[in-house]
Amino acid sequence: MYPKVVQVIPMRNYSVYVYFEDGKIVCYDTTKIIEKEVFRPLKNIQVFLDTCTVLNDTLAWDINRNRDNTTCLDIDPDMLYELPAVEEKIA
């Protein structure tokens, strides 16, 4: 069984709080991946914030805004789950 993401909250500093089904919370810093060609649309902060979602039980960006999980940009949930747990800083 793989970890399931149930909620994501993107932040203006290009990080995303990722909430897992078992209660674990991680903070994923995307500043390095947005330099890669495929993730470049996320450099636009509004695109980053507005299209961040959960698709296929993981963190994703629905760039085409059509909820098509075959065209989204997504992150491996196992990799996300391996990040250290954090305390939620949002409130």
Position 86 in a domain:
no
Q: Is residue 91 part of a domain?
A: no
| Structural domain includes residue 67 | yes
Does residue 88 form part of some domain? no
Residue 37 lies in a domain: yes
Single pTM value for the model: 0.92
Domain count, the chain: 1
Dist. CA 43–CA 78, nearest whole Å: 24
Range of the domain at 13: 5-81
pLDDT in tens, the chain (91 residues): 789 999 999 999 999 999 999 999 999 999 999 999 999 999 999 999 999 999 999 999 999 999 988 889 999 999 999 999 998 766 5
User: What's the CATH number where 60 sits?
Assistant: 3.30.2020
Sequence-separated (6 or more) residues with CB below 8 Å from residue 66: none
Q: Is residue 74 part of a domain?
A: yes
Look at residue 68 and tell me if it is in a domain: yes
Q: Is residue 26 part of a domain?
A: yes
Q: Is 67 left (phi over 0), alpha (psi -120 to 50) or beta?
A: left
